[in-house]
Structure 1
Amino acid sequence: MCILAILYRVAKNTPILVAANREEYYSRPTQAPKIQSGTPRVICGIDREAGGTWLGVNQFGLFAAVANRRKLYVPPQPRSRGLLCRELLGFATAKEAAQYAAKELSTGRYAGANYICADAKYAAVVHGGNKVEIVELEPGLHLLSGGDVDDLSDPRHEFVYRMLTLHKLDSPVTFLAVASRVFARPADSYGRRGVVLVGPEYGTVSSTLLSLPKKIQQAIFQYAPGPPNTHPYEDLSALLRQVLSAGRSKQKDKDGQLAVAKSRQAKNVR
């Protein structure tokens, strides 16, 4: 399971702000986020056991993440949920990615999962529990973990929502500063009044802070390679900006080609 907060289309000039803690077995091998080979360009971490990811961003500004959830019937050999998350990062838009996630989850090949897909124009959570459902996200603060999106009956959802909304979240600086403190707070023995989970074999294994603004040079990717209350965040923003710049360069090339084509067409008309 994981827990994630997304502030969607609220902060000025920054459509997507994310804070997320990953929870996993400590023994599961993991590769820290880096730029992956292939196209489109993607920055994400890799689960070395199955080859998938839990969270990433591609060159088109598409953010995708997955959180495990309960499901009554799980196939004997389920396909990796992280592999599906990695596949979602191959799409150009969040809407296409969400539709693909719903289609895949409907095959019944997966254990329970929630996926979130977001870009500057569209965001949705795909519930893949006992039924598959796409929930489109309106502008605002949204929370996701192992149940339905924005379920405030979940003690950690309620805690995160209450702590974050004590502040006016109108800028990336404010959101990331507040979220870094909230997501670093250990939960009590009942999993309440905190976010970080610590168990003998399973718990919080990493944390991510993400800002996807309109200006690429202001994009932020910070990653803590362990519980954020004991591991400082490392700044991977330069890698994120490199990925986003690849998408912007391709768009400029496409716009340039379109302009040339229109110019030639106009000359032919004359």
Structure 2
Amino acid sequence: MCTLLFAWQVFEDAPVLVAANRDEALGRPSHPPGIYGENPRVIAPWDEEAGGTWIGYNEFGVSAVITNRWLDADLAGERSRGLLVGEALERESAEDAARFVERSVGEFEYDGFNLALLDENAALLLEWDGGLRVRNVDPGVHVVVNVGADGEFEIPPERAEFGERQAESARQARQELQPEPGERSAEWHERAAAVLRDHDYGFCVHAEEYGTRSSSLIRAEKNGATSYRFADGPPCETGYEPVEP
């Protein structure tokens, strides 16, 4: 997963709105969203090669989304980051999930990541580069990419040109997605989806062996209901379909 857009505590009827693209090797097998876990019930897609997931939600209203984080140094990456996300989604709150991740990175070494953990009461961004930074994010619109989030970017020198373009796209997307007067949550969600498929931002990736494999829209409502729409392909050419596990 390489691009995450989310609105937290912006709209009264839907405190959590997520829009995210997953970029991956085109030949790597994955399974579309379904029942990832039963106790608690977790709805998520999953990677068939290494296991784990990159995005999902659970019956307690916790959503989790991970992106790669580009680093100067190589980490051992001894354990799949997807397994970390799946295990975080076994927790009853975003705060509990964050505490679990803090323990897990003390036990295992993962490749670099940005991990958003969201529920109605808390939104946390966990940034791992060999050390873990945990920050509570304020109500608002947030954009997470490989080089950072919300204007705080760390760009590796070997990816300087591409990283700078990505950071600028993230700044522009965050500005573009500020709520408009009288805007409803569903309208904002559609605007976020449009940004994900707009090639001017570069979030929908097409390369010879790598690209945007799927796109996800998750909506957690005030009444506790959560819905998920999934595009099983690049969103510029693939429609979003409701996930009905």
TM over 0.5: yes
The one-letter code of the counterpart of 2:211 is G
Specify the structure having the higher radius of gyration (Cα): 1
Name the CA distance, whole Å, in 1 between partners of 2:181 and 2:128: 33
Task: For residue 8 of structure 1, report the CA deviation from its aligned partner.
Answer: 0.3
Q: Cα deviations across residues 24-44 of structure 1 (Å, max 9, x unaligned)?
A: 111110100012342000100
Structure 1 gaps of 5+ residues are: 188-192, 240-270
Q: Which residue of 2 aligns with 1:118?
A: 118
SS in 2 for 1:96: helix
Q: Does residue 185 of structure 2 align to residue 180 of structure 1?
A: no
Shift of 1:148: 2.5
1:229 counterpart letter in structure 2: C
Which consecutive segments of 4 or more residues in structure 1 shift more than 3 A? 166-170
Contact 2:33 2:43 in 1 (8 A): yes
TM-score, normalised to structure 2, is: 0.88
Q: Which stretch shows the higher mean deviation, 102-111 or 130-139?
A: 102-111
1:177-204 CA-to-partner distances (Å, cap 9, x unmatched) read 21121111124xxxxx342111111111
Q: What does 1:8-157 correspond to in 2, within 5 Å?
A: 8-71=8-71, 72-75=73-76, 78-107=78-107, 109-151=109-151, 154-157=167-170
In structure 2, the gaps of 5 or more residues are 154-166
Offset of 1:170 from its aligned partner?
Answer: 4.3
Give, as a single letter, the amino acid of the residue that structure 2 aligns with 1:202.
Y
In the alignment, is the contact (CA less than 8 A) between 1:10 and 1:140 conserved in 2?
yes
Structure showing the higher helix proportion among its residues = 1
Number of equivalences? 231
TM superposition shift of 1:146: 1.3
| Partner Cα separation in structure 1 for residue 147 and residue 47 of structure 2 | 22
Cα deviations across residues 10-68 of structure 1 (Å, max 9, x unaligned)? Answer: 10121100110111111110100012342000100010001100000000000011111
- CA distance in 2: counterparts of 1:7 and 1:168, whole angstroms: 15
Normalising by structure 1, report the TM-score: 0.80
- Other structure's SS at 1:200 match: coil
The residue type equivalent to 1:176 in the other structure is H
SS at match of 2:66: strand
Q: 1:147 to 1:104 in 2, by over 3 A?
A: farther
Relative to its length, the structure with more strand (as a share) is: 2
Rounded to whole Å, the distance in 2 between the matches of 1:49 and 1:161 is: 33
Distance 1:90 1:25, change over 3 A: same
Listed one character per residue, the Cα deviations across residues 151-188 of structure 1 (whole Å, up to 9, x for unaligned) are 2660221231132127348422111121121111124x
1:216 deviates by: 4.6
Of 143-152 and 123-132, more deviation after overlay is shown by 143-152
Deviates more, 1:84-93 or 1:171-180: 171-180
Q: Relative to structure 2, which stretch is displaced further, 140-149 or 39-48?
A: 140-149
State the identity as a percent. 31
Change (3 A) 1:206 1:228: same
Give the structure 2 partner of residue 214 of structure 1.
Answer: 222
